[in-house]
Amino acid sequence: MPDISITGPDGSFSAYLAVPQSGVGAGVLMIQEIFGVNQDMRDHCDARAAEGYFALCPDLFWRQKPGIQLTDQSEGEWAQAVELYQALDYPKAVEDLKTTLSYLRGLDGCTGKVGAMGFCLGGYLTFLMATQSDTDCNAGYYGVGIETRLNESSQITSPTLLHIAEEDKFVPPPTQVQIKDGLAGNDMVTIHSYPGMDHAFARHGGTHYDADAARLANERTAALFAANLR
């Protein structure tokens, strides 16, 4: 599918839209990593469309540099991705995601039910959407920074999955314990840990990609969506 344009309070930004073959279904708001709406994110969107969902992934770096599509295959791309990540305005990113959520719900053929699914940066933003929006369910993969927003945990009122890589260098074991303890009191949250897995184990073609762990995490996410979006 070609990229589409979405207009928000601050201007227009692009987003990749994948449509289910039937033309009818619930939606999944896909949330990018630090590499932009690249081929990996497009592949994730296409996979959700193959499962029967409208999948929409907005460009969250558009205020800095629109249309970024990086990989994790070179130091130069990593440096650019980290620079964009560090300069991201998170309240504005959440605003863009809420705008995209509304757009997705209003698409012809969309049932109006929408879940959020994100990776790395997107995993953190998925958590923020769980606490700050009315998504119907959420699945965050190895989100970085969740421990800084645990005070918002009581605001999660829709089923939420968090996939944690036990060997994640960006979310070390003490931080993982902090996250689990901080969310233990909310029955809406389920946390799955993946022994031996490093950060980005579900990034297609990435250094730490693990087909078995990615498949298990995606199956759990698919079950979440089937239970709450169908």
CATH number reported for the structural domain that contains residue 175 in this entry: 3.40.50.1820
3 among known catalytic residues: no
Question: Would you state the pLDDT for residue 2?
Answer: 74
Q: How many domains does the chain have?
A: 1
Q: pLDDT (tens digit, 9 = 90+) per residue, 131-159?
A: 999 999 999 999 999 999 999 999 999 99
- Reduced to 3 states (helix: H, G, I; strand: E, B; else coil), residue 211 is helix
Instruction: Report the pLDDT averaged over residues 94-123.
Output: 98
- Reduced to 3 states (helix: H, G, I; strand: E, B; else coil), residue 170 is coil
pLDDT tier at 180, thresholds 50, 70, 90 = very high
Q: Are 84 and 64 in contact (CB under 8 A)?
A: yes
199 among known catalytic residues: yes
Question: Would you state the pLDDT for residue 188?
Answer: 98
Determine the structural domain holding residue 185 and report its residue range.
Answer: 3-229
- Per-residue pLDDT at 177 exceeds 80: yes
pLDDT tier at 108, thresholds 50, 70, 90 = very high
Strands 54-58 and 11-18: antiparallel
Instruction: Report the pLDDT averaged over residues 76-98.
Output: 97
Q: pLDDT (tens digit, 9 = 90+) per residue, 14-56?
A: 999 999 999 999 999 999 999 999 999 999 999 999 999 999 9
Average predicted confidence (pLDDT) for the chain: 97
pLDDT tier at 167, thresholds 50, 70, 90 = very high
Q: pLDDT (tens digit, 9 = 90+) per residue, 181-190?
A: 999 999 999 9
Question: Would you state the pLDDT for residue 1?
Answer: 61
Nearest to 78 by CA among 38, 131, 45: 38
Q: Would the pTM count as exceeding 0.75?
A: yes
> What share of the chain in percent tops pLDDT 90?
97
Which of 44, 163, 199, 208 is labelled catalytic? 199
Which of 40, 72, 168, 210 is labelled catalytic? 168
CB atoms within 10 A of CB 93: 21
